[in-house]
Every structure is written in structure tokens, then in C-alpha cells.
Amino acid sequence: MNVTLYQQNVELERPVRASGQDHRQRTRLFLRVEDEGVAGFGEVAPQPFALNGDPGLGEVLEVLDATVALVGAIARREGALPPWARMGRLSNASPARNVACALVEMALLDRELRVTSTLIEELWTPLFKTPSQVTVSLLDAETDWLTEGATRVRVKSAPGDVSSRALERLRALRVPVIIDFNCSATSDEDVLEQVTVIGRVATIDAVEQPFGVGNLVDHARLATRLDVPLSLDESVRSLRDLTHIANYEAAAMICVKPARVGGLSSARALIARASELGLRTYLGGFFESPYARGVHRGLANSCVSEPSDLDNVAVGLGDEGTEISSVSSSFGFEPSMRVLASAECRPISAEIQS
């Protein structure tokens, strides 16, 4: 097994200001896993620093060597790389391990599909043509909103008055919105006042994660006072979380982010369980490249009908066609040589290679 890590830094096409973080740049990690002459690629895009239960880039890099070492140990013991879906069972040790496992899992899945000359549609039968959701900010009056083609818009917000400029922009939208507080609300009134104001000029599909991670009591109380659905994002990390959310009646919708929950197999399990519990689900992301976004689109098309975060969001090397290259199997594309050549190549410790 030979493993190579590539780190690429990019600017977001449209900066997104959230209550606790200003998203302007993103670091993408590409992992190439080669064994017996066949290679596969994975990708995650960790945020720069830890926030609201999600790890920062440094934390992910710290645990990645150990995660790859574990895969190498399994390969030596069993005589073959572990199946891709097994990575989901190796996650949940920590938020950073979840992201690292998601990165390795995608690479293993890509490689497995290439070995068997299989297309992802044969593994994940498309049931939907999942529409796209885009993210903008009510907290930034300068950055243009790019919403063309989206069927829903997530608007980042925070407690306080909504500016007249933001209300003008909301009024011009022809699609519904999700108001995303990113854990910044401190009272029901923080949320209810904005819902009243924004509801006069736009159709509200949901309010997302107003209170802190794991605070199901306050979310459940607020849900009874809202006349729109409440959605949870940062609070969704495991099947146990879903059970608690349903038992508390703390939300009607959830956002599942593959990197946060430990990868694609874990995301599929969460989406299936959410459906059983009657929770509407959409797929979220962390500003990934067209490669991971394309993989997520394949996942979403198989199990998610709600608008999801699937479109390109960053300025890399030009248009999408320069960031991915076509291949005949697996996802049908891979990170282009231009992307890998532009990235910093980070060594994976030699002792863990097999």
C-alpha cells in the first residue's frame, strides 16, 4: 500500500460570513491510496479551526497518520485492504478521526470500483435527481449572492436586526430559504423575531441549528413555538443522535455531512434511519472541490430528495473541467493532474506503508 496526501488551498468564489467564522479560503486534502497497481482518491475539506464540535485542519492532520496506519495494519494482517464500508466502523473515536476516516474511505471506495470496473450507479442506484442548495450570508452586505440554479438558499444569520440590504436580497429570491444560526442563538426570541421579519419577504423552509450542539431541550421547546420546521446540523453525528432528536421531537429536518459523520457509509446509514424516523434529510458539505462534491452528488441521487450542497463553491484552477478528469469506471472522474500538481505533497509516515 502506497499513500500520498495532497494539500490544496483555494479561495471561495463567494466568501460566506457565518456567526462564528468567515469562510474565505478552504484547504482541501486529497488522499491517493495505491495497492497492487490500482489507485483511488479521497477528499475532505476541513475548516481552518475547530468550531461547534467540528475539528480544524490541524487536528485532522494530526490523526491522519494513525488512521492510515490502522488501515495498513489491517492490510498486513488480512492480506488485503479493508473494504471501504468498514471505515465507518473505525470512526466515531473523535470528530477529527471521523474526518480522517471519511478521507480514507472515499479513496478505498474509488479503488475498489476501479478494480472491478464498476460505476457508482451500480452500487448506489439513482432514485432522485437531487436539486442544489447554495449558501449565502445575511451578515455580509458586500459579497454578491450567486443563487442561479439553486432550488433553495441557506442564509447564514446571527441574533440581531436584519439589515435593509439583506431584506432586499431576500425579497428578490424566488426560492425558499433556510435560516442558519450556526449555534449562535441564546434565546427563543433571537430566532422568533428573525423568522417574523424574514417571513414577510421570503418563504422560510426551516430554521437551522439555532442553539448549541447537543442542546435538544431548547431546540425541542423552540420547535413548538415555530410555525416553520426546525433543522439540526452540527448536532447530527451518529445514529444515537438521531434517536435522541426523534425522542425529544427536537427537529423535523436534519443536515448530514459525510465528513462529519465518518464517511459515505455512515451518511447512508444516517439518512436511512432518519427516513424511518420521519425526518427530512439534506446533504451538507464543507466547501469541497468538484471531485468530492461529485461523489456526494452520486450519494445524494441515491437517497436524498431535498436540495443539498452539491455545486462547486471555490476558485481553484478555473472552470470545473480543469479540476477533474474523466475515467471509465468508479465515479467517472478523478482529481485532475493540474489539481495535484498545484497542491503541496505531504508525506505519510514511512513506517505505516506496507
Amino acid identity at 17:
R
* 191: enclosing H helix or E strand: helix 188-199
Cβ-proximal residues to 341 (8 Å cutoff; 6+ apart), any chain:
none
Half-sphere exposure of 204 (CA within 13 A, CB side): 21
Question: 351: pLDDT confidence band, cut at 50, 70 and 90?
Answer: very low
pLDDT in tens, 182-203: 999 999 999 999 999 999 999 9
The whole-model pTM stands at 0.95
CA distance 166 to 137: 9
pLDDT in tens, 207-232: 999 999 999 999 999 999 999 999 99
pLDDT for the residue numbered 354 = 47
Which residue segments constitute the domains of the chain, with CATH numbers given? 2-119+333-352 (3.30.390.10), 123-315 (3.20.20.120)
Region of 214 (left: φ > 0; alpha: ψ -120 to 50; beta: rest) is left
For the chain, helix, strand, coil in percent to 5 are 40, 25, 35
pLDDT in tens, 90-108: 877 799 999 999 999 999 9
Grid coordinates standing for 85?
464500508
Strands 2-17 and 22-35: antiparallel
Q: Per-residue pLDDT for 46 more than 90?
A: yes
Grid coordinates standing for 5?
496526501
Average pLDDT, the chain: 94
Grid coordinates standing for 254?
436534519
CA distance 151 to 175: 6
Residue 21 has φ and ψ, to the nearest 5°, of -160, 140
